[in-house]
Structure 1
Amino acid sequence: MSGLLALLDDVAAIAKLASTQVDDIAGQAAKVGAKTAGVLIDDTAVTPKYVTGLPAAREIPIVWKIARGSIFNKLIVLLPVAMLLDAFLPWLLTPLLMIGGGYLCFEGGEKVWHALFPHKEHGPQQAETLSAAHLETQRVKGAIKTDFILSAEIMTIALSQIEAGDALTRGLILGAVAVGVTVAVYGAVALLVKADDFGLRLIRVGRFGAVRALGAGIVKSMPTVLTLIATIGTAAMLWVGGAIITHGLLDLGWSWLYETIHHVAIDGAAATGGAGFVTWAITATLDGVIGLALGVLLIPVATRLIAPFIGLFTGGDAGGGEAH
């Protein structure tokens, strides 16, 4: 009997340890996932364009196909590569992270540039020029290929933020981040693309004027909502991209830029009587300014040299604001 009790005690201890590890993995995954905010908001803002011009009944199936492709990109391709780099070439992570940060700066800078200096957009191909089935297949393939670039940024940023020591735990956290951000992004996309349909349904079947008015408000507000999300996404890209560059330079031994921003933020918070939020706001703003400046400088380089190269792997869907 004493042996059985000892065994049960050991099982309880193991279960408690496992529960603690699961909680730690979940907590770190949530913390690390938050660091990818710039990429996530941008991905959420631009993905709805892939269902434009297609039947409403196909919107959710298309989003589901893209989400499955995104999970494949992250878990089957990028996760093993990231773990191999982490194990054998950890010094390469900072340069790769800075390349991803530069790409974020470029995307954000290009969107700001096009907002200030508009140019003619060709827009998404409509179903009238291709069969709906062929257009859907084409859109899904393009979206999954472009998602690969964004997923690579997400996985690299996430890996750099994981604090766990052993490889298994780091891999589990990275896998949890991959699943979590994919569910968050494409769940939000599904809600966005069906919001106007929900509004129209309220207009048609609503028994009360308030319900029909709510439906009309949803339909009317969706373009503004999508524009607002895109604007927030651009700002987040510039902030995150700039922060990645400054921290990367610090890790490589060039601390002047990081230290200057840090001192300006501390002095600004002291001058205004603010605390942590003011310091963060000043730091994020300065990181965003650096990201915008770098992004604008990268526009001619990326569009003339890098985008054609990436287009070989993405079917022509890469390249800044038009990447999506």
Structure 2
Amino acid sequence: MSTTVLRKDSATDGAPPSGGAPSRARTEPRRGRSRAGRVVGQVLLYTVLTALSAAILVPFAWMLVSSVKLDAEVFTVPIQWIPKSFHWENFADIWTEIPMLTYLGNSLFLSVVITFLQVLTGSFAAYGFAKVRFPGRDALFLAYIATIAVPWQAYMVPQYIIMQRIGLVDTHLSLILLQAFGAFGVFLMRQYYQSIPEELSEAARLDGLSEYGIWARIMLPLSKPALASLALLTFVFTWNDYMGPFIYLTSNDLWTVQLGLRSFVGVYDSRYAMIMTGSVLSVLPILVVFLLGQRHFVQGIATSGMK
């Protein structure tokens, strides 16, 4: 009996304990495979993102290359990515052939004024919808936001008739009044205001601060990312707007840069190289604005519920 017990004990002593080296040996290959899988997934993800980014940049690269070509070389098949000769004089000639500086100044004026007014009115209305309690607030907000779904072509003619009867056609003021208010800006700012604790507003009211003071002294300083996002989106939209200036502006000295490029489109032919040169010049301000405000833009979108 003692011999049997000793044999069992010796057999037990030689067996590996549960959870020992063999179990670690089994988990280590799994961890290695999972780590390799993550690396392969990241490589595939970055490859897809790189390919998509390159596809997005191809039209811009073609526009940039075409801006230093002759008109006959712009639409050659296949595309000639490296011109035989670079015509850098296109960037000097465009300033004398059309009043490019006037067009850029008009676009800048409209973009800055409309952006300022949209940020002001959008943030102020959003504060009322987010922090002020009054009967029918939510229903009014839904009705206002529902106007985003109405296409502009549905009320384009009534708007023009109104502006014509009050004598604002062929003035910058018509575009400013029509675009100074936007439901999208109200929605964007309201989503951000709702992320600010209500206790701040209640404490300010107890201290005797008015609703205007709460908006100006508490809400606006805390909502800089959302304000930057709204300003950036509005500026880009206004700068690139073509149909609005096309409908309301008839005088050449009031044209924006988008309308000014029409000067190179003739009845029988078009100066495509100059159009590309002007397009490159019109893109540069937008590029600068995006580079300067991209950090605030991403932060504002990420924290306003528009993920």
Which TM bucket (shorter chain)?
under 0.3
**Bigger radius of gyration among the two:** 2
Q: Which has the higher helix share?
A: 1
Q: TM-score, normalising length from structure 2?
A: 0.24
Q: TM-score, normalising length from structure 1?
A: 0.23
